[in-house]
Structure 1
Amino acid sequence: MRFADLFCGIGGFHAALHQMGHECVFATDIDKHAAEVYEANWGKPGGFDVLSDIRDVIDDIPEMDIICAGFPCQPFSKSGAQEGFEDQTRGTLFHDICYLAEKHRPAVLFLENVPNLVAHDNGNTMQVIESRIQEMGYKHWWKILSPHKYGTCQIRKRVYIVCIRDDLVGNFEFTFPKEQHHDLDIRTVLDKNVDTRYNMTEDEICWLDMWEEFLNNVNTETKLPGHPIWADCFQGDEELPGELEQYTKAQLIEIGREWARYGWVQPVKGAMKRDEMIDAINLPSWKQDFIRKNRHLYRHNRAFIDSWLKKWRVLEMDEEGAPIIPVSRTKYEWQAGPDSRSNWENIMQFRPSGIRVKRGDYFPALVAMAQIPVVGWLKRRLTPEECARIQDFDVDGNLGDPFVLGESDQQSYKQLGNAVNVNMVRMIQERIDMYLDGVEDFPALSTQITLESF
């Protein structure tokens, strides 16, 4: 079948559908670097330049049987029942998908997005999408899936939406691939000889050694805390205020003054509106809960934590008044379970919110930001080629010509963080092809899943 690859990135949909013999007739993306990588691997489908804004070329897109789209998540209009669902989506990129679907009437719409799409804008976004799909004459199914349940060592939850044109819907339901149990081994994607530029810096190793000592000396008789550890919240004695909405403006000014030493609190001024004061204090209930838990952790490990703070100068300032250790590195989150007590046998990410440690049997989701997973026992980051493997791009040429990444590591990390997982797309497309061929490996037709049943 012929497919159009919208918001195509470097071609995750293309890689999957190409393996199955489908033909790409058009591809578009507004990112210059991603378009260059796409063309280096797939050429110019239909003879069209990949680098383009869909809104500028939408009437040039030829007929297709499948629309593939990992579309951006945008809020829709909420002006009410007086507007149709088409009007509510107007001005969004999802509207452009719908325009093409109504113009060409392809058999299939195959959509992908982050799982938060389901709850985005208090569920309004997903409700409008589902209603608009039905309005256009398609039956649809959706499910949140992750490749680590299908043999790829990356946890990457995404919502996949499969839409079949009404006249092609059989008397049985479409179903997504069944989850499978796999003993994942991340070593299968790691290269033995890697350039030293991927090594951790001396500062990063120092920060991990600092937290390694912490791991080995807190809660030695019990389990490690599962909540984020914030070193600047150990010794505080400020009263936790609870819900800030209950206070007057004068009381909020006093609360802001009391909590002013914390980096997340902005100055609270009398000229501010009450909601602005609450936003500046930035103490939602979940944050107060973490502060409470960190104080509890400190009280039960006071002697060690006091010496640890002093030894590593965790909260001290340099001569210019800047933190000796960046604030984000004084925050730490252990998600590696009860069977480990070492950073160096797990996978880590240096995130803006702190250092996060996860179990060493699969990688956390790649993201477009600079949070490249670090392999603890190798003390280095994943290379772009290794990141491509956990996105199931064939950089090793096992299925033919190897997939070629761009020259910039930074751009490759960004592109792979934005990409769809090739193996997930391929397995779902296999099910789509079976469904259209009438293979009754599917349950009998039943009531459609809706957002309310999620």
Structure 2
Amino acid sequence: MKTFKDTEFAYIREKTGFSVKEVSELLGKSERTIYRWEKGESLPDENLLRELKSIYNVRSGRQPDNDFNFRFIDLFAGIGGLRKAFESIGGKCVFTSEWDLACRKTYQANYNCDHPINGDIRDVDLDNMPQYDVLVAGFPCQPFSIAGVSKKKSLGRPHGFHDATQGTLFFDVAQMIERHRPKAFLLENVKNLVSHDKGNTFKVIMATLKEELGYHVDFRVIDAKHFVPQHRERIFIVGFRDDVGFAFDNMKLPQSGPKLGSILHKEDGSEAPESPYTEAPEGRVADKYTLSDRLWEYLQNYAEKHRAKGNGFGYGLFGPDDVARTLSARYYKDGSEILIRQEGKNPRRLTPRECARLMGFDKTGHKPFVIPVSDTQSYKQFGNSVAVPVVEAVASHMLPYIFKAMRATKDADQVQMLFEKVEAYV
């Protein structure tokens, strides 16, 4: 008989960071059974061991060791930040929707799309979508008009999200959830979603997801500074169709994150030149990213003008030991929110390659993210995107519960099949 610490199951369980109690709840087995598996007194269920291995691989930064763990759809896909994160936990993207042509060009250059990219989500035929387990969407924030809902309710007329969110893009997401009943979803938005339209927008969204659609929902605002050198607060809303025990409160974040020096071009010859961003022979940043005297003077005068009025408006000047402000879609205009100090000359903008690193699309040891569009378009795309490592952390936290939700569905399907067989003999 193997000793307690020598079994594969015990080793993997400890490496995932789960306690015996947590594993028993996630896998739907008694603690006594888990202890027997750990001591080698009985063999673990093969499928459950595979789930635990997948979780271990994801949390160790390894690629999943099987084809895919679940299917998901990518709505308001942008340049695929959510897709990149969910593929990292073994998800297979089976449907994509993105209306912007420039984003679609970047998306197709970076992902192996075995399906066409759909355009406007409002034109999607809900009846002819592939089967999927998880819905992910970074939907735009829009105000809702709920005038008349109370009156309709008092008159006994139909109401709810079909009235409250009609005409908004969230309505289309809610329709998909209502029609297909995915096992889980992840919705991402700006932090201000909570206070948007005096809190009405968020109130309607949560009521729709919980009360109208019947999902178990939790949310959390996360600052990307824990993962990348950038202050970027975004809200993540996670819902599960079944109560699998998911909660954000036990999701741990790194205590400290990287600094800007980790994403800036080295400029000392240790990094291969990449035209048009850096130039041979030493890989120095191209001059076009340095602010002109006129623009630099304008930004300084603008900042001084507002400083005199007691306002905080102005440029942000940073060095390699700093954490930057939020990269926005307007960065292409003047780069003022994140300017990099340069010795003996005006500051410069980040290059698009540095933006790819700042947003976590580029990782050491991985193939660089393909940037097939102009600087202007790439700044817009990265500024509108998600910080990939943040979503990877959220997705990793979701994975055990996705497995649990899929297992619950499989068990329910087996019970239904058994019931139908019994019925056939009655």
CA distance in structure 2 between the aligned counterparts of 1:90 and 1:179, rounded to whole angstroms: 37
The TM-score normalised by the length of structure 1 is: 0.62
Which aligned pairs between 1:120-159 and structure 2 lie closer than 5 A?
A: 120-134=196-210, 135-148=212-225, 150-159=226-235
Q: Which of 166, 169, 173 pairs up with 1:90?
A: 166
The counterpart of 2:192, out of the listed 104, 112, 116, is 116
Instruction: Say if 1:170 and 1:21 are closer, same or farther in 2 by CA, change over 3 A.
Output: closer
Q: Match of 2:137?
A: 69
Please give the secondary structure, in 1, of the residue aligned with 2:93: strand
Say which structure is richer in helix.
Answer: 2
1:397–1:403 contact (8 Å) kept in structure 2: no
Please state whether the residue corresponding to 1:175 is helix, strand or coil.
coil
Query: What is the Cα deviation at residue 435 of structure 1?
Result: 2.5
Instruction: Decide which moves more: 181-190 or 29-38.
Output: 181-190
In the alignment, residue 23 of structure 1 is paired with which amino acid? K
The question of 1:187 aligning with 2:261 is answered: yes
- Provide the residue aligned with 1:366 in structure 2: 327
Match of 1:402 in 2: 368
Residue 44 of structure 1: which of 106, 109, 113 is its match? 113
How far apart in 2 are the matches of 1:371 and 1:161? 33
- Mapped to 1, the partners of 2:105 and 2:286 lie a distance apart of 25
Counterpart of 1:398 in structure 2: which amino acid? G
* Bigger relative contact order (CA 8 A; separation at least 6): 1
SS at match of 2:371: coil
The residue number in structure 2 matching 1:197 is 288
How many residue pairs get aligned? The number is 301
The 1-side partners of 2:395 and 2:123 are apart by 29
Per the TM alignment, residue 418 of structure 1 is displaced from its structure 2 partner at its CA by 0.5
Residue 54 of structure 1 corresponds to 121
AA matched with 1:77: S
Deviations 1:21-72 (A, max 9, x none): 2100011111100001101111434x2134x111112424322111110001
SS in 1 for 2:322: coil
1:78 aligned to 2:146?
Answer: yes
Percent identity over paired residues: 36
Correspondence 1:281-320 to 2 at 5 A = 291=309, 294=310
Deviation at 1:407, TM superposition (A): 3.0
| Structure 1 residues 131-167: Cα deviation after superposition (integer angstroms, max 9, x where no partner) | 100121201111111110x2310110011100111x2
* Unaligned residue ranges in structure 1 (runs of 5+): 212-227, 235-290, 295-331, 334-352, 440-454
Secondary structure of the structure 2 residue equivalent to 1:100: helix
Paired position in structure 2 for 1:433: 399
Residue 260 of structure 1 corresponds to which residue in structure 2? none
Aligned AA (1:40): A
User: What does 1:330-345 correspond to in 2, within 5 Å?
Assistant: 333=312
TM-score of the pair, normalised by structure 2: 0.65
1:378-398 C-alpha deviation (Å, 9 max, x unpaired): 52110001011111002x662
Task: Give, in whole Å, the separation in 2 of the partners of 1:172 and 1:182.
Answer: 25
**Unaligned stretches of 5+ residues in structure 2:** 1-69, 153-158, 268-283, 406-426
Q: What per-residue deviation string (whole Å, max 9, x for no partner) do you get for residues 98-140 of structure 1?
A: 1111111111110000111101111110010001001212011
- Quote the residue 1:13 is aligned against: 82
Going from structure 1 to structure 2, the CA distance change for 1:202 and 1:371 (only over 3 Å counts) comes to closer
CA distance in 2, matches of 1:75, 1:383: 34
| Contact 2:299–2:314, Cα closer than 8 Å, also in 1 | no
What's the counterpart of residue 178 of structure 1? 252
Q: Is the 8 A contact 1:143 1:176 kept in 2?
A: no
Q: Distance in 2 between matches of 1:184 and 1:108?
A: 31
Query: Using a 3 Å threshold, how does the CA distance of structure 1 residues 67 and 105 change in structure 2: closer, same or farther?
Result: same
Instruction: Render the CA deviation track for 1:250-289: whole Å, top value 9, x for unaligned.
Output: xxxxxxxxxxxxxxxxxxxxxxxxxxxxxxxxxxxxxxxx
Report whether the alignment pairs 1:103 with 2:103: no
Distance in 1, matches of 2:165 and 2:300, equals 51
